[in-house]
Structure 1
Amino acid sequence: MATTEDQHDPGFLAAQAVLVTNYQKLINGKSVFGVVGDGKEPFDLVIVVVDDAHAALARTEDQFRLRVPASHEAYEKLLNLFAQDLRHQSANAWSELEDKDPTALAQVPFWAWADKHDEVLRILRPHREEQDFLFVWPLLAEVLHLCTATATSKAIEIRPSCTPIDRIPSFVRAHRRVYLTATLADDSALVTDFDANSKLVAKPVTPGSASDLGERMILAPRALNPDLDNEAVRVLARQFADGDQDGDGVPETDPVNVVVLVPSAPAAAAWERYADRTWWVGDLEAGVKELQGGHVGLVVLVNKYDGVNLPAGACRLLILDGVPRPLDGVERREAVALADSTVRLAREVQRIEQGMGRGVRDNEDYCAVLLMGANLAVAINDARHLALFSPATQAQLKLSRDIARQIRGEGLDAVRQALRACLGRMPQWTQRSRRALAEVRYAPQGTVRPEAVALREAFDLAATRRTLAAADRVQRAVNDLGDRDTALRGWLREQKAAYLHLTNPVAAQQALAGALNDNSFVLRPVNEAVPTQLKAAAVQARAAADFLAAQYGDGLSLRLGVQALFENVVWGEEERSDDAERAWQALGEHLGFTSARPEKQYGMGPDNLWALSATRQAVTELKTGCVTDTIAKKDINQLGGSVRWLNDHNPEVEALPVMLHPSRVSDAKATPPPGMRVVTPARFEKLKEAVTQYATALASSPDRWADEQAVREQLAHHKLTGDRFFTTYADPVCAS
């Protein structure tokens, strides 16, 4: 059949030609296909085929998000309107917003957003024809009261929990909607974003086997040998790009294109000395053509894990050096609240799988994939992660693991040999790879999470003013979830409270108080909960052994898990502050300290609190994103305020003031709290070395990490006990 790119083409209108267009043209507030209320006659579409559903989902979510930049006059008006509400949720987050701190993040409480809806409209509506609003306002105006608003120092982001896709009638009224995807192991987003029929989504049309897919060898060097270092992998990548696959300095094979996917500019900088090209999103169209045209060498793509096709020789070795971090405000908040939830894991796995799919586009194609770092090694080694990959990827991972078992622990040369088997088309690899895919049978049922269906149905009910029914629908999902995922259960109960508030504010606050019992990172009720006093473990070694035994099933997982903790503390990157805070909390648990994040849980107090003993607690502020030569007065004051907070809430405990900062030197105008100590990057490296050795020793024999006596010996040997930790791995603050 003929094709056209013009929606007014007579052939298309007569159903004699297929229209090829992009998502943005169909789904936006000024869509040429019509938007509810714009007076245009919607197109009568028979079939809509959504190619590359991954990319479509990301773009659709973006189209339904209103972003009010900090430079816009409406930004300050909205901040002022909700100042008291934001300050009540977190005085520290409000201060960060006032200081234009890049890490600032605060959600407007749902009750404040709903109660002040008329004022919000008066602020936003006059700007509806401006560029920042033009293509989004018509999609959100009618459901603005159901949206969440998240404030950062860069923008206020407004988006609904599910997209009101019915604003595009041509799309929702199409006789058939077909979603094409190679890697969606969890199809829930098709329901929440596209309002797809969950029963039909659960019955996907799949090939008889995965033999039509391309061939991939997927290796994580750290999972083969936790002692392998990232710089050695970068050298290997450069050598393969030059045709020096055996690493002797002399090219012996044809050079190949090596493509490296990184999530940020700092991650790209680590590749600078090895890269022939570094491309950003705006460079990709021309860059991909260059790769498809012949040998380029080693190319770094920054923060682009989907929508890039690199077939055949355009990419023979693909390297993922990290995964994209949540960038917008809503995702950042979800990352904190759902950090331990399967929902969050599924999203992370989806991004990894998207990235791994860039280098193989058909069944004749092949590509080797390296996953750098401990976090990605965990993703293909941990059972919870593995179960979330698509069947074909699981089969390729299993085959690659079988190959890896033969070479584990032999260093980077073993990785070279495995890669050469793939890229050199050695029959013992290619035959096993084809057979592995041919044996894959796709599951007859797709995966649609019940809570995703509930949230979609609840949103649709609320959009038609049936808010009590919406709250009841979410509650049924909470009941069905039971005790399987308490973080998700608390998150859902917050959603229920938001709908309940629209008809019964008192019941909504009661529901929110219940949500806090499941998830301490949800919104705090108007009548604030009293912070719980942190109690030290009776015996540090026993607490550490119990935690490690529950967390890790084998020694490799323990070593990778500890490495991943330190990987998540990135100095000089303000955007990674949430990761650093969570990693520091988890580090305390690995060492047997009761560990909490009061600022996130209560909106006050320090970033982190460790109970070092029954009478002493470490009050810690993490300033890993700072790049200053001295500790600013405001940061010193913040730490002093956190010490006072602990004294007020637990006066029987001595507070040890601690800060993670690139400098131990206090600003001349600041007065550090007595006894303050600083974990600098140099001290942090010593700590990393000690904890890594602690984990390695415990992982040296089966279940040794669950042995209280063995843990006690290692804690003492590496000076990781409550009485020695900060005297060993932190310096006293000094005056400038």
Structure 2
Amino acid sequence: EARLQQEKSTMFAWEHVRDHVDTCCIMISGDDITITPPFVPVRSLPYFNTGIRRVYLSATLSAPDAFARTFGCIPEEVIAPTTTAGECERLIVIPSRANLERDDIEMAKELIDRRKALVLVPTYSRATRWEDVVQPPPRKDVSRYVREFRDAPAADSVKLLLAARYDGVDLPGDTCRVMVIDDLPMGVGPLERYLWERLRLSAILRTAIASRVVQSFGRISRGMSDHGVVILTGERLVEWVLIPKNRGVLPVFLQKQISLGDAVSEQADSIQDLLSAAEQCLTRDDGWIAAYNDYLADAELENADVDTEHLTRLAKSEAKYGHLMWHREYKKAAKVLRATLDDAFALSDSTGAWHCLWLGAAYQMMGDGGSAQEMFLDAHATQRNIPAYPRENAQVSQAAVPAQIIAIDEQLNILADGSIVLPKGLDTDLAYLGGSGSPAQTEKSLRALGQYLGLNATRPDNEHGTGPDALWVADGQPVLCLEVKTGKDASSRYQKKEVGQLSDHVQWVKDHIGDTTIIPVFVGPVMPATDTSNPPSDFLVVGLEQFKQLGDRLKAALTDAVENALPTTLRDTLMTTFSKRDLIWPDCMNSMEKYTLRDLSVVRN
């Protein structure tokens, strides 16, 4: 009925995927259905085949993992001449960092009110936030609008808004000296939006986003002789550029400018302060130039702390998998993704879950339903925003079943003969609750414990470079915010810096989860804080052994349930067993010995 092979907007894309729909990812939204390979099989195109010489030209796509995902290979030789392109003088203004209780977009509108300015947004829906100032040009007339904007006098206050156009537009010098980058420059495709907004694959998308950020800044600059003001708005963009791990993958020059802009914005007590700072940059004020040069000369760089080799290995694995699945070599595709599955989980749990899903797809196409279901269960259990795989023996219970019990049920494997088996990784995943592992290994086991308890358990700091070490979330229930300090010496204290770190992570949870009850916990030795720390009254300290005991009760309950339940009674049995063993969240916290950090400090004093 859609006439896909006749409509010009779909006929060419449909010709590519029509015989490969069963190997594709299908994204369904309220507006459309998108059929796309999960990993683009770019090497299937004849001009990307092995044996053909290719020269790639790019000013920004320098990260090897981003290159591998785009072109399916790594170049044998890279020629990267030293250049000052992009190193123009910039003042970066971040209105949300100023001491003002105002919407940052509204402040940005005031800052550009009397200036000729370019506004970049990631989507047309985001463009509606600017419709009282400027609207995006019709898609067929974008080039004409860009030319007219470029030719307009510098003194005019004309505005140009472009949606999802981060390259191909050059407005250097007096053609445009003021630009707003609103919100994170993500792709407009449903798959990439799903990976970012639902799976939160920050680690694997970091270099791709960095490339777009760099491209965005380059729209109004071309070299050292240029200068201008760039205004950053949108919570996701501001948060991304201020996270050290993210900023560390940006060019050195841009890192320093962001650091300077953050410092200038934080000192502003009024919109006039921001306007004055912008004016000094645009008029080449001597004081501004001196301060700018001094700051950039002394500014410290962020440590990128990015394992490029690890990321590139995963990117190459995805590219090979995409190519092999496209050619229906399912066994080889499964072998490729299986070989790097541990690497995927080492990068982040969400990345591992995404790879589990598509490894399961390869097994399914091979006819190995058991292995496929195991992978699908692992994918959903680890990342709840990957849909659960429907089971033929799924039961229908008349009683209302809590979401926690449903989530536990979806992690158990029901075999063809009706027997129920525990997750294969249960013991190994929880092994480091015994205290034998590093803090990172302990974080991994704490996340897994939350998962097997049926909660949405994540490791925000591992994935995003900020936030708690482990986070347990259940809809409508208190959220557990865990900071792992198992490496501390038993004779030391919780430092002021560590208390501040946990406070920062509590705020991160409020910003990302919303208005809910938060239980902040140090997991480590039971000891007081230093006299100068002043911990909030709700900060708790819980020894790791308490989580070990919780894990042991959990394993015993799961064992009882699978031994005594039938597929049709599994959820009811889980409910009864978990209630008897006091494992329903958040009641299971009541059985744990926990201490208020402030009370510990009072006792010590």
Q: Does the aligned pair in 1 maintain the 2:122–2:188 contact within 8 Å?
A: no
Q: Deviations over 1:330-372 (max 9, x none)?
A: 2343235421541245554444443333221344322211112
Q: How does 1:221-240 map to 2 (within 5 A)?
A: 221-225=95-99, 227-230=101-104, 233-240=107-114
Q: How does 1:634-645 map to 2 (within 5 A)?
A: none
Residue 339 of structure 1: SS of its match in structure 2? coil
Partner residue in 1 for 2:147: 289
Partner residue in 2 for 1:198: 74
Cα distance change of structure 1 residues 183 and 309 upon mapping to structure 2, 3 Å threshold: same
Q: Does the aligned pair in 2 maintain the 1:541–1:592 contact within 8 Å?
A: no
Does structure 1 residue 395 correspond to structure 2 residue 395? no
Partner residue in 1 for 2:349: 486
Partner residue in 2 for 1:415: 274
Give the distance between the partners of 1:557 and 1:221, measured in 2 at CA: 22
- Structure 1 residue 311 displacement after superposition: 1.8
- The equivalent position to 1:164 in structure 2, one of 31, 37, 41, is 41
- Structure 1 residue 317 displacement after superposition: 1.0
Residue 141 of structure 2: SS of its match in structure 1? helix
Partner residue in 2 for 1:588: 516
- Structure 1 residue 180 displacement after superposition: 3.2
- The equivalent position to 2:316 in structure 1, one of 425, 430, 453, is 453
Give the distance between the partners of 2:9 and 2:188, measured in 1 at CA: 18
Cα distance change of structure 1 residues 153 and 224 upon mapping to structure 2, 3 Å threshold: closer
Q: Does the aligned pair in 1 maintain the 2:179–2:231 contact within 8 Å?
A: yes
Q: Does the aligned pair in 2 maintain the 1:220–1:376 contact within 8 Å?
A: no
Partner residue in 1 for 2:165: 305
Q: Does the aligned pair in 2 maintain the 1:258–1:297 contact within 8 Å?
A: yes
Q: Does the aligned pair in 1 maintain the 2:108–2:233 contact within 8 Å?
A: no
Q: Does the aligned pair in 1 maintain the 2:244–2:303 contact within 8 Å?
A: no
Cα distance change of structure 1 residues 650 and 366 upon mapping to structure 2, 3 Å threshold: farther
Cα distance change of structure 1 residues 230 and 536 upon mapping to structure 2, 3 Å threshold: closer
Partner residue in 2 for 1:85: none
Q: How does 1:104-123 map to 2 (within 5 A)?
A: none
Q: How does 1:52-67 map to 2 (within 5 A)?
A: none
Q: Deviations over 1:671-724 (max 9, x none)?
A: xxxxxxxxxxxxxxxxxxxxxxxxxxxxxxxxxxx98769xxxxxxxxxxxxxx
- Structure 1 residue 524 displacement after superposition: 2.1
Give the distance between the partners of 2:67 and 2:473, measured in 1 at CA: 45
Partner residue in 1 for 2:386: 522
Partner residue in 1 for 2:449: none
Give the distance between the partners of 1:153 and 1:279, measured in 2 at CA: 25
- Structure 1 residue 378 displacement after superposition: 1.5
**Aligned-residue RMSD, C-alpha:** 4.5
- Structure 1 residue 490 displacement after superposition: 0.8
Give the distance between the partners of 1:476 and 1:310, measured in 2 at CA: 46
Partner residue in 1 for 2:222: 361
Give the distance between the partners of 1:151 and 1:394, measured in 2 at CA: 38
Give the distance between the partners of 1:208 and 1:461, measured in 2 at CA: 38
Q: Does the aligned pair in 2 maintain the 1:204–1:446 contact within 8 Å?
A: no
TM normalised by structure 1 equals: 0.51
Does structure 1 residue 510 correspond to structure 2 residue 384? no
Partner residue in 2 for 1:259: 118
- The equivalent position to 1:147 in structure 2, one of 24, 27, 42, is 24
Does structure 1 residue 501 correspond to structure 2 residue 364? yes
Give the distance between the partners of 2:190 and 2:34, measured in 1 at CA: 7
Cα distance change of structure 1 residues 707 and 128 upon mapping to structure 2, 3 Å threshold: same
Q: Does the aligned pair in 2 maintain the 1:367–1:423 contact within 8 Å?
A: yes
Partner residue in 2 for 1:725: none
- The equivalent position to 2:184 in structure 1, one of 323, 335, 338, is 323
Give the distance between the partners of 1:433 and 1:239, measured in 2 at CA: 25
Q: Deviations over 1:277-313 (max 9, x none)?
A: 6534333211211221133424141423323222222
Partner residue in 1 for 2:441: none
- Structure 1 residue 468 displacement after superposition: 1.6
Q: Does the aligned pair in 1 maintain the 2:478–2:518 contact within 8 Å?
A: no
Any stretches of 5+ residues in structure 1 without a counterpart? 1-71, 75-126, 242-256, 566-582, 594-645, 654-705, 711-736
Cα distance change of structure 1 residues 346 and 553 upon mapping to structure 2, 3 Å threshold: farther
Q: Does the aligned pair in 2 maintain the 1:185–1:388 contact within 8 Å?
A: no
Partner residue in 2 for 1:177: 54
Cα distance change of structure 1 residues 290 and 473 upon mapping to structure 2, 3 Å threshold: same
Cα distance change of structure 1 residues 297 and 220 upon mapping to structure 2, 3 Å threshold: same
Give the distance between the partners of 2:201 and 2:246, measured in 1 at CA: 12
- Structure 1 residue 492 displacement after superposition: 0.8
Does structure 1 residue 128 correspond to structure 2 residue 128? no
Does structure 1 residue 207 correspond to structure 2 residue 85? no
Cα distance change of structure 1 residues 399 and 327 upon mapping to structure 2, 3 Å threshold: closer
Q: Does the aligned pair in 1 maintain the 2:196–2:202 contact within 8 Å?
A: no
Does structure 1 residue 386 correspond to structure 2 residue 386? no
Give the distance between the partners of 1:465 and 1:263, measured in 2 at CA: 35
Residue 279 of structure 1: SS of its match in structure 2? coil
- Structure 1 residue 221 displacement after superposition: 1.9
Give the distance between the partners of 2:91 and 2:79, measured in 1 at CA: 26
Residue 55 of structure 2: SS of its match in structure 1? strand
Residue 188 of structure 1: SS of its match in structure 2? helix
Give the distance between the partners of 1:211 and 1:492, measured in 2 at CA: 38
Q: Does the aligned pair in 2 maintain the 1:208–1:441 contact within 8 Å?
A: no
Q: Does the aligned pair in 2 maintain the 1:292–1:311 contact within 8 Å?
A: no
Residue 135 of structure 1: SS of its match in structure 2? helix
Q: Does the aligned pair in 2 maintain the 1:260–1:298 contact within 8 Å?
A: no
Give the distance between the partners of 1:541 and 1:508, measured in 2 at CA: 34
Any stretches of 5+ residues in structure 2 without a counterpart? 395-404, 409-453, 456-471, 485-496, 522-570, 580-594, 600-605
Residue 178 of structure 1: SS of its match in structure 2? coil
Residue 490 of structure 1: SS of its match in structure 2? helix
Residue 516 of structure 2: SS of its match in structure 1? helix
Q: Does the aligned pair in 1 maintain the 2:109–2:133 contact within 8 Å?
A: yes
Residue 531 of structure 1: SS of its match in structure 2? helix
Residue 354 of structure 1: SS of its match in structure 2? helix
- Structure 1 residue 545 displacement after superposition: 8.4
Cα distance change of structure 1 residues 191 and 545 upon mapping to structure 2, 3 Å threshold: closer
Give the distance between the partners of 1:541 and 1:510, measured in 2 at CA: 30
Q: Deviations over 1:586-610 (max 9, x none)?
A: 54365779xxxxxxxxxxxxxxxxx
Does structure 1 residue 531 correspond to structure 2 residue 407? yes
Would you say how many aligned residue pairs link Structure 1 and Structure 2? 439
Q: Does the aligned pair in 2 maintain the 1:185–1:390 contact within 8 Å?
A: no
- Structure 1 residue 454 displacement after superposition: 0.6
Q: Does the aligned pair in 1 maintain the 2:373–2:389 contact within 8 Å?
A: yes
Q: Which residue identity is paired with 2:28? A: A
Give the distance between the partners of 1:418 and 1:557, measured in 2 at CA: 32
Partner residue in 2 for 1:635: none
- Structure 1 residue 387 displacement after superposition: 2.6
Cα distance change of structure 1 residues 214 and 177 upon mapping to structure 2, 3 Å threshold: farther
TM normalised by structure 2 equals: 0.61
Q: Does the aligned pair in 1 maintain the 2:123–2:163 contact within 8 Å?
A: yes
Cα distance change of structure 1 residues 482 and 204 upon mapping to structure 2, 3 Å threshold: same
Does structure 1 residue 343 correspond to structure 2 residue 207? no
Give the distance between the partners of 1:551 and 1:515, measured in 2 at CA: 34
